Amino acid sequence: MSRNPSDSARVSRRALGAALLSGASGAAVVLVSAGQTWGEGDAQGGGAELPVTASGSAVSGLPSALALVGLAALVAVFAVRGTGRYVVASVLALSGAGSIAAALLGYGDSEALDRAAVEAMGVSDVAVTSVSHTGWPWFSALGGLLLLCAGLLALSYGRQWPAMSSRYERGGREARGRRGGRGGEDPERPEDIWRALDRGEDPT
């Protein structure tokens, strides 16, 4: 049984909306999570003790970087067509997968806390105790999952989505056709204005 074209168009529009919402939300979640505390503990050294924390960006800058790449790819999906759209959609999906992996690897990381402890105490012989980790890495992984879903939707339905470039190119050609003179000349270009004057025409 063949699918009604109107049903296919409806599914494509829904996939488009879901991809936009999922991609934008996922990138936002990853970027917000990067600024939050992922690990905390107590730095001990030189007879003193200080609380230290490590943000997501201190643990790893990879999730934020991949989120920005994914966000750029989400926009670029609508600026290209054909094979280019497939490639950009793949980049979007891979950005999400990479964000998930980086967030999960960052959970439990203590190197950022060690660096924070050295900076806080001003000495290299520092121990970090009472180490604990927050749930923000999991939120970052969730954002990566949303980016991955947006990429998969783009790979599955992207060929049916409209492209910004096609609309603008068509509009540009129509406008040039309306303005154009003899032989497709554009009366707004200086060289074509001179040609019109040489023929005795008024280019205005």
- Please give the structure tokens belonging to residue 23: 């991609």
Of the pLDDT bands very low, low, confident and very high (cuts 50, 70, 90), residue 160 is confident
156 and 178 co-located in one domain: no
Mean pLDDT in residue range 121-137: 89
Domain region containing 145: 5-162
Q: How many domains does the chain divide into?
A: 2
Q: Specify whether 156 is located in the same domain as 175.
A: no
Residues 31 and 79 in one domain: yes
**DSSP label of 203:** -
The H or E element spanning position 172 is: helix 164-179
pLDDT at 151 (0 to 100): 96
Domain co-membership, 156 together with 184: no
Instruction: Average the pLDDT over 105-115 and give the result.
Output: 91
What beta strand segments (E) does 66-177 contain?
127-133
Average pLDDT over the chain reads: 84
Residues 38 and 139 occupy one common structural domain: yes
For residue 21, what pLDDT band results from cuts at 50, 70 and 90?
Answer: very high
Report CA 191 to chain centroid distance, whole Å: 42
95 and 144 both lie in a single domain:
yes
Please write the tens of the pLDDT for every residue from 37-95: 999 999 988 778 899 999 999 999 999 999 999 999 999 998 888 899 999 999 999 99
Angle, in degrees to the nearest 10, between helices 5-34 and 62-76: 150
| CATH code at position 63 | 1.20.140
Would you tell me the crossing angle of helices 136-157 and 83-106 to the nearest 10 degrees?
160
pLDDT of amino acid 163 = 75
- Please indicate whether residue 40 or residue 8 has the higher confidence score (pLDDT): 40
Measured from the Cβ of residue 122, the count of other Cβ atoms closer than 10 Å reads 10
Residue with more model confidence, 67 or 9: 67
Residues 6+ apart with CB under 8 A from 133: 38, 39, 40, 107, 108
Q: Is 70 exceeded by the pLDDT of residue 2?
A: no
Residue type, 44: Q
Asked if 109 and 54 sit in the same domain, the reply is yes
